[in-house]
Structure 1
Amino acid sequence: MQYSPEFIKAIPKADLHLHLDGSLRASSLIDMAKRADIELPSYTEEGLFDLVFKSHYNNLGEYLNGFQYTCAALRDLENLEQASYELAVDNQNEGVNYIEVRFAPQLLMDPGKGVTFDTIMHVVNDGLLRAKKEYNNRADVKNGDKPPFDYGIINCAMRMFGKKGFSPYYTQMFQLMRDFEPMQVIKTAAMDLVRASVRMRDEEGMPIVGLDIAGQEIGYPAGEFKEVYEYAHENFLLKTVHAGEAYGAESIFEALTKCHADRLGHGYSLFSPEMTQDPSIEDPKAYGESLASYIADRRIAVEVCLTSNLQTNPDIGDIKNHNFQHMLDNRLATIICTDNRLVSRTTVSNEYQLAVDNFDISLKRLKDIVAYGFKKNFFPGRYVEKRDYAKQNLEYFDKVVKQFGLSDAS
């Protein structure tokens, strides 16, 4: 079935895998860099797209190169508030009603300048909340013609960081714990993050809805952070894990069994047995299929980032080779996400268009994908409020379907 860009833009959408530091406007990054005296490879959008934020990358390292510039810019609090506000507005302008913005606060903290975890969280929330209030005060939202906008914040711990250069916070952490093994320092930072996240959520009502672990999978398995995720689990903080992006299905298994993952970030390798490296797995294909069946049965949602996967896994080649088709065939709960709007030069609407143009997605299946974005999110309110919000968005989906003269989506 063919879906027009106008229809895709009009339907209600959610983005649950959205990195703040990878999703700035290129024009704003240039202004921010000038304001904060940060050197960029180019001070034109064309130059940045040519040198840094490319349409194609040779490997994951090249893909991650641009974050040194965005993170440097976001350590300025004025820039951070602006980026948070603009990210919400950019999503609103393309029909995205709910976003979960994730980032690593410790990458932006600077204890020497008094820029603490609490400071960072308040500034990010200020920007998002400003955009939310502006949108929800529009006449078409207030009178019920369109669903309101909402958001949650997911805090990322880092799987690894070096002794110098990652951020002032991490550099200081290594200095304070210089007699500890590196992994002990890394895990201590992660535990510090999750404890602070729970505290701000409970004491200040900050809409911190989840925990994530990001960074290089190979050599830094999610299981190393079992205690961190258990703390989140015990304190009702929901959990997602970057798993199966650049490592085999065993990474996904660890995320589920050791980290209590409620969702999976990427999950690409589930259907790529050649990525499996654990020698104890004698039949990687059968292992992945069994794991996929388990995930489908438990309705554990997968945050699918098509463009990002194509860019960080060049071996995929054509989009039609993406494992998204296997996810659909195995009835996994899949959510279309961007990952990084600037680094991947994409939008939620672009990702949906890429999916419907290259995979067999009926109207009913499309509604299911939309529904997962609202039913599998980590909504900051109570469950009954989340249900009502999901129902409101899905009723609006049906309304758009009728407006475009398509078949009944129910």
Structure 2
Amino acid sequence: MSASGPAFPEEFLLRLPKTDLHCHLDGSIRLATLIDLAKEQDLALPADTVEGLEQVLFKENYASLEEYLECFAYTTAVLRSEKNLERVAYEMAVDQFNVGIRYFEVRYAPQLNAIPGELSVEQVVEAVHRGLARATSEYNAQPAVASGEEPEYGFGQILCAMRFFNADFSPWFKKFWELHQYETPKRIYGLASMSLVATADNLRKAKNLPIVAIDIAGAEKGFPAEDHKEAFTLAHKKFFYKTVHAGEGYGPESIFQAITDLHAERIGHGFHLFDTSNFSNPLRTQESRDKYVEGLIQYMSNQRICIEVCLSSNLQTLPSATLESHPAAKMIARKMAITLCSDNTTVSRTTVLKELKMAIDGFKLTPHQVKDIMITGFKKSFMHGDYVHKRAYVRKIINFYEKLEREYGILD
């Protein structure tokens, strides 16, 4: 079944309502904007044209996750002013809405952007909010949306703590490291996460900003979730949702830790969920590994812990991976809750629309499966505000989806 074939017309795929629940602000900056902002700041880039950057930095494929992450040193560097943050957030929202995204949750680590004495973490978050809100207001002013004929557009913010950092990560982390120089590194990681949760709680209370969840990002192996357990317990008590990067660079134990230590309701990537070879204890028998993984799958399935699947990103950072062997196929077959996400639209050269087409072609999805995955994104979103409103919004999305199915003759 082809995404461009009669079963799924191109225009239908573009118009159908979609979510993007795993998209990084600093990985989704327009390259032309990156060049502009770098020039304003006299920041040297590896190339000074979009084509040049695509050849030497933002590639089709990367040799490793480490090479993939090199891109973020440049994007983060230009996102240390309110003006730049607001511009990039606005453009990101526009780009998302233009490919049929109706609701998305942008994530980023504001401690990477903040500059002590010049740009606070609070100012970072508020600047991003202004950009997202401005774009959303413009799209919601369109006649079809304003009249109620189509569902409105929306967004939330997810603030990321870092599993690991050192003083070179940002001016904020440099100052934080200096202030806690007598603490152990693991303790410092957890304290920075605690600071982020406390700041997020204050902003949500004082400004009613749609900060919907807390995340941790960065290298998994050697930097366990338990380092951030105290911070995520606080987030849990403050009624923040929790999504955790896990199973991207390490095995099922990392996903287990995210759920049991950090109360994760969603998992970012989860690529290594089925990998029984990737365990910290090499003496485990194959039987015990199989039971561990199966138990984890059953728990996640029953609890409807949603996996934020990022196909392009995984294929780019895991050289041995192929679309045909991607574990999303097993997740779908086992009726697990999944949603398709971009991860980084610029660094991965993708959109959710492209991810959807890849999934349809690679996994031979039926119309019923496509609809289930798309609607799961809305149902498992961490939408800010009243639950009754969310239920009504999801119903409106389903009605609009079914209207498009009838219009384009999509039959299961």
TM value normalised by structure 1 = 0.97
Corresponding residue for 1:391?
395
SS of 1:274 mapped into structure 2: coil
Letter in 2 for 1:387: R
Corresponding residue for 1:81?
86
Corresponding residue for 1:125?
129
Equivalents in 2 of 1:262, 1:188: separation in Å?
A: 22
Counterpart check, 1:57 vs 2:62: yes
In the TM superposition, what is the alpha-carbon distance from 1:279 to its structure 2 partner?
3.8
Equivalent residues of 2:211, 2:384 under 8 A apart: yes
Corresponding residue for 2:142?
138
In the TM superposition, what is the alpha-carbon distance from 1:202 to its structure 2 partner?
1.4
Deviations 1:324-349 (A, max 9, x none): 11111111100000000011000110
Match of 2:411 among 385, 407, 410: 407
Letter in 1 for 2:362: N
Corresponding residue for 1:357?
361
Corresponding residue for 1:208?
211
In the TM superposition, what is the alpha-carbon distance from 1:223 to its structure 2 partner?
1.8
Counterpart check, 1:379 vs 2:383: yes
Letter in 2 for 1:358: G
Deviations 1:137-192 (A, max 9, x none): 111111122211000000000011112x2100000011111111112112111100
Q: Which runs of 4+ in 1 moved over 4 A?
A: none
In the TM superposition, what is the alpha-carbon distance from 1:293 to its structure 2 partner?
1.4
**Identity across aligned pairs (percent)?**
43
Equivalents in 1 of 2:35, 2:294: separation in Å?
A: 46
Corresponding residue for 1:268?
271
Corresponding residue for 2:314?
309
Counterpart check, 1:225 vs 2:224: no
In the TM superposition, what is the alpha-carbon distance from 1:383 to its structure 2 partner?
1.0
Counterpart check, 1:175 vs 2:178: yes
In the TM superposition, what is the alpha-carbon distance from 1:289 to its structure 2 partner?
2.2
Cα gap change, 1:281 to 1:367, in 2 (>3 Å): farther
Letter in 2 for 1:41: P
Match of 2:200 among 169, 177, 197: 197
Deviations 1:46-77 (A, max 9, x none): 11111111100010000000000000011132
Counterpart check, 1:70 vs 2:75: yes
SS of 1:271 mapped into structure 2: coil
Equivalents in 1 of 2:10, 2:318: separation in Å?
A: 27
Match of 2:342 among 338, 341, 351: 338
In the TM superposition, what is the alpha-carbon distance from 1:280 to its structure 2 partner?
6.4
Equivalent residues of 1:21, 1:67 under 8 A apart: yes
| RMSD of equivalent CA atoms | 1.2
Match of 1:33 among 38, 59, 63: 38
In the TM superposition, what is the alpha-carbon distance from 1:240 to its structure 2 partner?
0.4
Gaps spanning 5+ residues in structure 1: where? none
Letter in 2 for 1:233: H
Gaps spanning 5+ residues in structure 2: where? 3-7
Equivalent residues of 2:27, 2:75 under 8 A apart: yes
Corresponding residue for 1:288?
293
Match of 2:154 among 150, 155, 159: 150
Match of 1:14 among 13, 19, 26: 19
In the TM superposition, what is the alpha-carbon distance from 1:281 to its structure 2 partner?
4.2
Corresponding residue for 2:255?
252
Equivalent residues of 1:293, 1:330 under 8 A apart: no
Deviations 1:350-370 (A, max 9, x none): 000000011032111111101
Equivalents in 2 of 1:276, 1:314: separation in Å?
A: 20
Corresponding residue for 2:5?
none
Equivalent residues of 2:187, 2:227 under 8 A apart: no
Letter in 2 for 1:111: P
Equivalent residues of 2:9, 2:408 under 8 A apart: no
Equivalents in 2 of 1:202, 1:279: separation in Å?
A: 47
Deviations 1:184-206 (A, max 9, x none): 11211110000110111112101
Count matched residues.
Answer: 405
Letter in 2 for 1:33: A
SS of 1:30 mapped into structure 2: helix
